[in-house]
Amino acid sequence: MVETRSLSRVPPMNGSSVAEVVARLHRGGLHLEIGTTDLCFLAAIHVRNRDGEGSSLDEASLRDLYAFVSEVTEPAAPNVQKRATHALERLRDQRLLARVDGAGIVRAGDWTLTRLSTGILDYYLEEGALTRQSLLVLCSTLRATLHQVLLDATTGGDDRWWDERVLSPLRVTVSDLIRGIDRRQQGLDEQQDEVRARVAGLLEKHWSDALESCEALLDETARTLRELGEVLLVETGAIVDLVEQIGAVSSKADRHVVEATAHGLAGETLRVGAWGSDRMDAWDAYFGFIQRYLRTVVRLDAGRATSERLREAIRSWGSNPWGIRVPEPPPLRALRDPEARLFLKPVVRPRAARDRPPRQESPPVGGVDIAAEVASLLASGEARLVDALATILPQVPPGGRYGTTGEVVEELALAGIVRRPRDEAWVAAEGLEVQDLVAVRRLRPRPETSR
Amino acid sequence: MTRTRFQSMEEIVADDLFPRVDLALRAGRHFDLADVEEWSFLTDAAPFLEGFYARYHCRLVQSPDSYWYLVPEGDLLPVRRLRAAEMVVGQTMALLLLDPAITETRGILPRTRVLETLAGIVGQDELPRLVLDRPLPRDIAVAAERVRERIAGALRSLSELGFVQLLPGELLLIRPATLRFADAARLAPSLEEGLRILVARGSIDLASESGDG
């Protein structure tokens, strides 16, 4: 809902640009707020007036009308008289109701609808749906008016003639009629939306039992739209033709304002025609879709059990997976373009065994007899690695000490029985760090090993 | 006697549409009435194309819903089975298509509806287990994001196969071929019986391969 708050007058907007109009309205703080009950109240006044009960109502009648409306829209709400008072004030403040002032004396309690409220109600209550009849009437009236305008433009005259007989009818009558067709055509959109909602509602409630009703509704709407489409197509073409003739005559007479107005109206008429054409296409697409839907979905599943089974299938897919088989496109081949290659001379060296067997080289030990040294240390009953290294390593060049340490450990293990001391800390030994161990002299001969 | 514009296979092969339609069918594409030219071509050429594709051990099928597609029956053409995400998304779209509310919008929906509907059926917690590969992300937010990516990827591949059309503004149009995902539920009073029928026809395979998802 749009809200209106301010009572300030809005200056005339004719000829103003979009920016000026928007700025002016914004400065005025305009907004409109009409609830359902208020709208129904205004509609009730409108209907009373239309049914020939006069164009104004006294306050008592208004309050009675409000009470009637409130019973329908808000039956449980209390204090209907108080609410009626507030409603009258609210609608007056928003210029939707006005007090009638006769001959300078304000008569208490006589109220009438304003142009604003009438315009809003016309939109909601207008039963001028676009029928073939109403369209033909509108278009005939429009063509007749344009014929007269063309005649007057061709006859020509002074500025006043052009203003009264050509420009004003174009700006007012012709423009209003075109907008009337456009407005009704937009009402057609709403009718189509309503038909779609009704079809969906019928199917939702009654499913296959609604087939006949849906098809009847669709056929009727399709027939109506086809008739309207044909009339609109022919009529808009004729209207544009007439307007363009007026534009051409105006141009010859150097009446450029008239020419511009005529061009604008031609554009508006073409837009109306195009809009109508789009709506027909959209309806055709919907019609085709719904016919297929009725045929393939509704008819084939009269009991509507498919949806339930499908829902269960989705729920259970994880524990019972299955898959639709589809052909798979072959993988892309990236083919190289042929390219020139270098010619490589073939290998001509004769085959021969070129591998040499590995040569074992011992690390330099400086002539130390490790077995004899270890045996000498073990003669006392036990020998520690650290002590053996302290005896042997000084005799070995530095580059060979690491490898010699391994040989000393091996000799200790072969010549004695190795026991690890409790303390396994790393200790320094001749430039290296080792974990010490203790070897005890064997009582039996050492095991044979190959070196 | 059905009138056709083609009198021989040579005329069909010489037609400008043949290469595009042939390659698309061999890539798993489904053609419905919205593909006006291709659908008309297939309808006119079907009597000859059936024998042509039979030599490739494939069957050219027109469903009762009027869309055309190829069913591989042998091993001359490579075959794949739709992955987990594609299957559950396809079935969800078929379920949405069976809802009368879809008639108001002619099958056009926001893409988010698919994920919302699927989550509503299987539950938010079950979704990652259904569509993601193991191991699953421990972080819930990361898992949710990966599920969304996987669903979006499934929609893209299903659109290439002609099951759905992706529209601007994060909308999609569910196409008639999506009803193929509902065949198992439509063909027989029970789902098991429906699956058996489809397996016998060669349309589906049961049991997932490793790496599905």
Q: CA nearest A416: which of A436, A437, A443, A441? A: A441
CA–CA distance, B96 with B114 (Å, rounded to integer): 8
B residues 162-201 closer than 8 Å to A (CB): 176, 179-182, 184-186, 189-191, 194-195
Q: At what angle do helices A370-378 and A401-415 cross, to 10 degrees?
A: 50
Radius of gyration of chain B from Cα atoms? 19
Q: Compute CA distances A102 → A89, A99, A106, whole Å.
A: 20, 10, 6
pLDDT of residue A20 exceeding 90: no
Kindly state the average pLDDT of the residues B117-128: 92
Residue B163 near residue B178 (C-beta atoms within 8 A): yes
CA–CA distance, A328 with A341 (Å, rounded to integer): 37
pLDDT of residue A174 exceeding 90: no
Helix or strand holding residue B166 (H, E): strand B164-167
pLDDT of residue A1 exceeding 60: no
Q: How many residues does chain B have?
A: 213
pLDDT of residue A104 exceeding 60: no
- Residue-wise pLDDT for B7-29, tens only, equals 999 999 999 999 999 999 999 99
Q: Compute CA distances B116 → B40, B133, B148, B155, whole Å.
A: 36, 21, 11, 14
pLDDT of residue B107 exceeding 60: yes
Q: What does residue B172 show for φ and ψ, rounded to 5 degrees?
A: -145, 155
CA distance B2 to chain A (A): 22
Q: Average pLDDT of chain B?
A: 91
pLDDT band at B213 (very low <50, low <70, confident <90, very high): very low
This complex has an ipTM of 0.91
Q: Is the dihedral of CA A324, A327, A329, A330 positive or negative?
A: positive
The separation between CA B178 and the C-alpha centre of its own chain, rounded to angstroms, equals 6
Q: Do A324 and B82 touch (CB under 8 A)?
A: yes
Q: What does residue A241 show for φ and ψ, rounded to 5 degrees?
A: -60, -45
Please name the member of A300, A312, A326 whose beta carbon is closest to the beta carbon of B82.
A326
Q: Compute CA distances B144 → A28, A46, A81, B17, whole Å.
A: 49, 56, 56, 43
Is B135 in CB contact (< 8 Å) with chain A? no
pLDDT of residue A24 exceeding 90: no
From A98-112, A369-383, B117-131, the region with the lowest mean pLDDT = A98-112
Is A285 in CB contact (< 8 Å) with chain B? yes
Peptide bond into A330 cis (omega under 30): no
Q: Is the dihedral of CA A115, A118, A124, A125 positive or negative?
A: negative
Residue type, A374: V
> What count of other Cβ atoms lies within 10 Å of the Cβ of residue A325?
20
Residue A417 near residue A383 (C-beta atoms within 8 A): no
Q: To 5 degrees, how large is the angle CA A284–CA A288–CA A293? A: 145
CA–CA distance, A430 with A409 (Å, rounded to integer): 15
Q: What is the pLDDT of residue A4?
A: 43
Q: From its phi and psi, is residue A285 left (phi > 0), alpha (psi between -120 and 50) or beta?
A: alpha
Is A315 in CB contact (< 8 Å) with chain B? yes
* Token duo for residue A277: 């054409």
* Token duo for residue A270: 């073409």
pLDDT band at A256 (very low <50, low <70, confident <90, very high): very high
From A145-149, A227-231, A382-386, the region with the lowest mean pLDDT = A227-231
Q: What is the pLDDT of residue A10?
A: 46
Residue from B104, B179, B180, B181 to probe the interface with A (highest A Cβ count within 10 Å): B104
Q: What is the DSSP string of B62-89?
A: E-TTS-EEEEE-SSSS-EEEPPHHHHHH
CA–CA distance, A90 with A96 (Å, rounded to integer): 9
Q: Do A310 and B212 touch (CB under 8 A)?
A: no
pLDDT band at B157 (very low <50, low <70, confident <90, very high): very high
pLDDT of residue A89 exceeding 60: yes
CA–CA distance, B165 with A61 (Å, rounded to integer): 59
CA–CA distance, B137 with B114 (Å, rounded to integer): 22
pLDDT band at B119 (very low <50, low <70, confident <90, very high): very high
- Percent over 90 (pLDDT), chain B: 74
Residue B44 near residue B6 (C-beta atoms within 8 A): yes
- For B127, what's the count of Cα atoms within 13 Å in the CB-facing half-sphere? 25
pLDDT of residue A421 exceeding 90: no
- Residue-wise pLDDT for A302-357, tens only, equals 778 888 899 999 999 988 899 999 998 777 777 777 677 777 778 788 888 888 88
Q: What DSSP state is assigned to residue B26?
A: H
Q: What is the pLDDT of residue A365?
A: 59
pLDDT of residue A8 exceeding 70: no
- Percent over 70 (pLDDT), chain B: 95
Q: What is the pLDDT of residue A449?
A: 54
CA–CA distance, B212 with A324 (Å, rounded to integer): 13
* Higher local confidence (pLDDT), A406 or B209: A406
Q: Is the dihedral of CA A17, A18, A19, A24 positive or negative?
A: positive
Q: Average pLDDT of chain A?
A: 81
Q: At what angle do helices A401-415 and A385-392 cross, to 10 degrees?
A: 130
Residues of A in contact with B206 (CB under 8 A): 320-322
CA distance B203 to chain A (A): 6
Helix or strand holding residue B92 (H, E): helix B84-98
From A175-179, A272-276, A436-440, the region with the lowest mean pLDDT = A175-179
Place of tokens 């698919």: B114
pLDDT of residue A106 exceeding 70: no
In SS3 terms, chain A reads as CCCCCCCCCCCCCCCCCHHHHHHHHHHHCCCCCCCHHHHHHHHHHHHHHHCCCCCCECHHHHHHHHHHHHHHHCCCCCCHHHHHHHHHHHHHHCCCEEEEEECCEEEEEEEEECHHHHHHHHHHHCCCCCCHHHHHHHHHHHHHHHHHHHHHHHHCCCHHHHHHHHHHHHHHHHHHHHHHHHHHHHHHHHHHHHHHHHHHHHHHHHHHHHHHHHHHHHHHHHHHHHHHHHHHHHHHHHHHHHHHHHHHHHHHCCCHHHHHHHHHHHHHHHHHHHHHHHHHHHHHHHHHHHHHHHHHHHHHHCCCCHHHHHHHHHHHCCCCCEEEEEECCCCCCCCCCCCCCCCCCCCCCCCCCCCCCCCCCCCCCCCCCHHHHHHHHHCCCEEEHHHHHHHHHHHCCHHHHHHHHHHHHHHHHHHEEEECCCCCCEEEECCEEEECCEEEECCCCCCCCCC
Place of tokens 């055309």: B68
pLDDT of residue B196 exceeding 70: yes
B95 Cβ contact partners less than 8 Å away, ≥ 6 residues apart:
A307, A310, A311, A314, B117, B121, B182
pLDDT band at A130 (very low <50, low <70, confident <90, very high): low
Residues of A in contact with B74 (CB under 8 A): none
Q: What's this model's pTM, rounded to 2 decimal places?
A: 0.59
Q: Do B103 and A305 touch (CB under 8 A)?
A: no
Residue from A289, A314, A315 to probe the interface with B (highest B Cβ count within 10 Å): A314
CA–CA distance, B182 with A338 (Å, rounded to integer): 51
Please name the residue of chain A whose CA is at the shortest distance from the CA of residue B69.
A326
Residue B130 near residue B87 (C-beta atoms within 8 A): no
